[in-house]
Each structure stands twice: as structure tokens, then as C-alpha cells.
Amino acid sequence: MSPDILTGEHFINGNTASAEGAIAVGCRFFAGYPITPSTEVAERMSRRLPQLGGTFIQMEDELASMSAILGASWGGAKSMTATSGPGYSLMMENIGLGIMTETPTVVVNVMRGGPSTGLPTLVAQADVMQARWGSHGAYEVIALAPASPQEMFDMTVRAFNLSEQFRLPVSVLSDEVVGHMTEKVVIPTQDKVPIYARRKPKEPPSDSYRPYQADADGVPPMANAGSGYHMHVTGLTHDERGYPVITAAAQKKLIQRLCDKIRKNRDKIIQYTEVDTEKADVIVVSYGISARTSWKAIRTCQKHGMKVGQLKLDTIWPFPEERIRELAGMVRGFVVPELNMGQIVYEVERCAAGKCKTVLVPHPGGEIHDPLDIYKAIKEVAK
């Protein structure tokens, strides 16, 4: 294996593509604990990072892994971890810490069947609401949903850039099938990889420096710890100096800004892919591997004369509620196939607001949908 950044065409699985995407965008620190079905991400990083002067650490558990990548980020490194459902649950407390301290980093979650130990080697998509609401308190998140190895590469790159731009942990919500699927992945040359450079303070270190004083977009510049700037980083509610201020007024000011920096920049964050939605009577709203499974059903319906389109969610959070509302007034209904017993379907139903039907095609995991089940749901809504 070359010690350089990979370029060109490669036949690799999604987990490997995610690791190479992280490397291409400048990640040089990985801390993680092996867990099926994400382990290939760690394995790849364990070999590649030492070749590039980076650091790989196998931690004792997922709590420590999340702590380590937060600390590495404050030290100036682009950092990352990878996990699956049970590990993601363990990381939630420190993901909340990363949101409160505005620490850019990336968490790749290759979802599997649950609850608990569940199906360690088999697919599911049941961590979607956990990604949004898993930590406590009021906050906003960013989560991306790749549906192919190529998207694992591309969306890992984008996750790092979004984390740096908006200063928070960003989740890549993959799934076992996408993570283990092997396909052609095209990796561009280094000059073609988009990289968002971390915004640094313009002023030199001084007693007046405020590490949490935000720019106009609601995001503060971020100095590296140890670079001469006075730092106080805490999970407590804090002021612009980073000092704890335990009052309702301080909470309102801080939490409002943490939410607004995502809410007011939704148009810059949200991405989705539409196919044949313009004149559709029924739209399949899907993500991850379920988006690909849906295509067989959609094509079959179209061959039978039904007007069916797809809205593929590339960004799950923030949720594209504006587009769902627009489409709801144009169609008979939405069909939502998920490898869970119903999660994103409730967001679709909320945004449709009774203007059209919303039908779930549930599946508890362990395997992907039978396209026939999606076909039947589309046919029922199209009546």
C-alpha cells in the first residue's frame, strides 16, 4: 500500500472508502474501539495513519474514544472515530460535550441490528433518532447518510468540512450493507478534494481574547490549545470567555446561538437527491441502503404506468422539512422504507401535515427490504 494519499479508481468497500475520505481531507488522528460492522474503518486507519505521520490509538472503550478525538481536535488535529449502535450509545454523553464545547470532529456510525447487542454482523437503520436526540439538552446536529462506497468517501470528506465550518461533531450514518459493499470508488487528486480550513482568531493572544465570541454566522473562530491563547473549555454553561456562568440568562444566550448556527445555515447544510419527483403522484423518501433497494420497486411501478419519484436524503439532520412540505401539496402520498420500525417516517408525516398520505414500510433489520414490499406500498398509495 502506498504511503501517499490515494487517487484514481479503487475497488474497495464503504468502510475503507470512509477511511480514505478522512485521510484525503486531512484527518491525522483516529481513536476507536473495534466494533462490528465498522471495524474495517479502524483497521484501515491503523495502517494508513502511521504512513502519513498521523496517530492511531485503540482505546479501551467508546467513551474514551470520543474523549480522545475531542482532545485531539482542540490540539489542532482533524480527528475521527468509527463505531456501531452500542458504541454510539456510549459516545452520546461526550458527543453532547463536543456540541457544548463546539469541538469539530467526525463520528462514523455503521448501523446494525439492535437493541442491545442485537445483530452485530447484520444491517439496520435504527440509530437515526439517536443521532438527533441521543444526548440531553437542546441542541442541533448534522448527520449524513451515504448509500454507496463512493458516497462513504464523499460524505466523510463533507462531514469533516461541515464539522470545521460549524464547530460540532458530525455523524456519518452508514449501515452494515453500505459499509461492507465493495464497488468502484473514484478518489480525486489532492487539489480537487474540497477542504474547509479551520477558522483561526485574527487577533494575537491577549487578556481580552474571548474563545467563544462568535462571528456573524454564529460560529466562533477556534485557536489551538497550547498556541498562546488563554483557554477554558467546559461542558458547563459558559460565557464568551469559556468561564462557567450558571444562570438562565447565560443558558438562553449560549443555547440559542448553538441552535441558530445550524438552523440559520440550513440551506448550506441540507442536501438531497431527487429523481422523477416533478410529476410524481407518489414519492419514496429513503436513505442509505434503503434508497438503493427502493429503485427496483420504483422502476417496476414506472413500467406499469405509475408516476413515482424518489427523494433520497443525503442529509438526514437537519431534516429537509421545507422540501417535504412543498412536495406534500403536489402528491398523493409518501412511502418511507426504513430498516427500523419507524423513525424518519414520523418526520415526513409531521411535515406533510395531513396534505397527503404517509406510509411506512418497516423492517426490523437483519436483511434489506424485499422490493416487492415497497412496490405494494407504492401501489396502495397510488390508488
Domain CATH for 178: 3.40.50.970
> Do the domain assignments include residue 245?
no
Measure Cα distances from 312 to 23, 51, 317, 333, 368 in Å: 27, 37, 13, 15, 16
> Do the domain assignments include residue 372?
yes
How far from the centroid of its chain's Cα atoms is residue 40's Cα?
18
Q: Which three cell numbers stand for residue 335?
A: 412511502
> Do the domain assignments include residue 1?
no
> Do the domain assignments include residue 100?
yes
CB 261 within 8 A of CB 216: no
Q: What is the pLDDT of residues 265-303, one digit of tens each?
A: 999 999 999 999 999 999 999 999 999 999 999 999 999
Per-residue burial over 258-282, b if 16 or more Cβ lie within 10 Å, else e, is beebbeebeeebbebeebebeebbb
Sequential DSSP letters for 167-214: TSEEEEEEEHHHHH-EEEEEE--GGGS---PPPPPSSPS-TT--TT--
Q: How far apart are CA 344 and CA 288, in angstroms?
A: 12
| Co-location of 168 and 43 in the same domain | yes
> Do the domain assignments include residue 326?
yes
Q: How far apart are CA 20 and CA 368, in angstroms?
A: 26
Of 189, 220, 239, the position where a domain reaches its end is 189
Q: What's at 168, amino acid-wise?
A: L
Can you name the residues that pair with 308 across neighbouring β-strands?
282
Q: How far apart are CA 126 and CA 43, in angstroms?
A: 25
Question: Structural domain tally of the chain?
Answer: 2
> Do the domain assignments include residue 244?
no
Find, among 298, 288, 294, 286, the residue nearest to 344 by Cα: 286
| Co-location of 83 and 182 in the same domain | yes
Can you name the residues that pair with 144 across neighbouring β-strands?
172, 315
Say if strands 142-144 and 315-317 run parallel, antiparallel, or are unpaired. Answer: antiparallel
**Looking at residue 378, what is its pLDDT?**
98
Q: Which residues of the chain have pLDDT under 70?
A: 1-3
| Co-location of 43 and 148 in the same domain | yes
Sequential DSSP letters for 205-247: S-TT--TT---TTS----PPTTSS------SS-B-TTS-B--S
Q: What's at 329, amino acid-wise?
A: G
Q: 78 by DSSP, 3-state: which?
A: strand
Rounded to 5 degrees, what are φ and ψ at 225? Answer: -60, 135
Of 189, 209, 227, the position where a domain reaches its end is 189
Q: For the CA atoms of 46, 222, 317, 83, what is the dihedral angle to 10 degrees?
A: 20
Domain CATH for 311: 3.40.50.920
Q: How far apart are CA 46 and CA 58, in angstroms?
A: 9
- Residue 12: give the domain boundaries: 8-189
**Looking at residue 4, what is its pLDDT?**
78
Q: Which three cell numbers stand for residue 366?
A: 437483519
| Co-location of 173 and 284 in the same domain | no
Q: Which residue has 465550518 as its cell numbers? A: 165
Instruction: Let me know how long the chain is.
Output: 383
Of 161, 189, 217, the position where a domain reaches its end is 189
| Co-location of 176 and 287 in the same domain | no
| Co-location of 40 and 182 in the same domain | yes
> Do the domain assignments include residue 349?
yes
List of residues 6+ apart from 323 with CB closer than 8 A: 272, 311
> Do the domain assignments include residue 233?
no
Angle between helices 371-382 and 289-303 (to 10 degrees): 50
**Looking at residue 115, what is its pLDDT?**
97
Find, among 330, 329, 319, 314, the residue nearest to 274 by Cα: 314
**Looking at residue 70, what is its pLDDT?**
98
Q: How far apart are CA 285 and CA 344, in angstroms?
A: 9
